[in-house]
Copies of this chain bind each other. A is one copy, B any other.
Amino acid sequence: MYETLFKHLQEKIPLLESEKEILKTFFVPKQLKKKKLLLQEGNVCKYMAFVTNGLLKAYNIDEKGKEYINQFTPEGWWTSDMDSFFSKQPASYTIEAIEDSELLLITVEDFENLTVQVPKMDRYFRLLFQNSLITKERRLANFQMLSADEKYKQMIEHNPGLVNRIPQNLLASFLGLSSETISRLKKNINS
């Protein structure tokens, strides 16, 4: 499972075998069954997690218990409540497995040590966060500018793989729509 991680890292930075060995010592593998939590809202987010297999969701809950999905994380991507992770404040997100998943976990302390011991990891995470930031900006612009209809169409066009992998109600939550609205959009599109 470390191979998935190394492959991902090497898309951004070259890695020596010796560095791979060092890296292995920083990560702890973890299995997470469907519906199990990696992080519970209110607790401090102890880990940043690289997903080697499966699919997770990160979401907020409001006073009425309604769920707002912030991010889906399939294999090959990272997840955590970054705010909580770095600041050690209680998390506002809950992170849960949508499918049985395999993760590699790293703590903040190890994260900091890793970037000191292997400085090119600063570059890796600079590039990772840089790309994440661009993605988030695009998502935010979609929220600002698009109608329900447009959001849904964009999603199908840009993330067909994900759309087919999750139930419609989760997609709705991610897009900031109700599941009923999506039903109605589908009907209009097929006519």
A interface residues with partner B (beta carbon < 8 Å): 60, 62, 68, 70, 82-83, 86, 92, 115, 119-120, 122-123, 125-126, 129-130, 132-134, 136-141, 143-145, 176
Contacts and interface: CB of A to CB of B under 8 A. Distances in A.
Contact of A129 (B126, B139, B140): B126
Contacts of A139: 140
A145 B83 contact: no
Contacts of A144: 60, 68, 70, 143, 176
Summarize A's interface: helix, strand, loop or mixed: helix
Tell me the number of copies of this protein.
Answer: 2
A83 B137 contact: yes
Contact of A70 (B68, B86, B137): B137
A122 B139 CA distance: 25
Contacts of A122: 119-120, 122-123, 126
Contacts of A120: 122
17 contacts: A68-B145, A82-B137, A92-B141, A115-B126, A119-B122, A122-B123, A126-B126, A129-B130, A132-B133, A133-B136, A136-B136, A136-B137, A139-B140, A140-B140, A143-B144, A143-B176, A144-B176
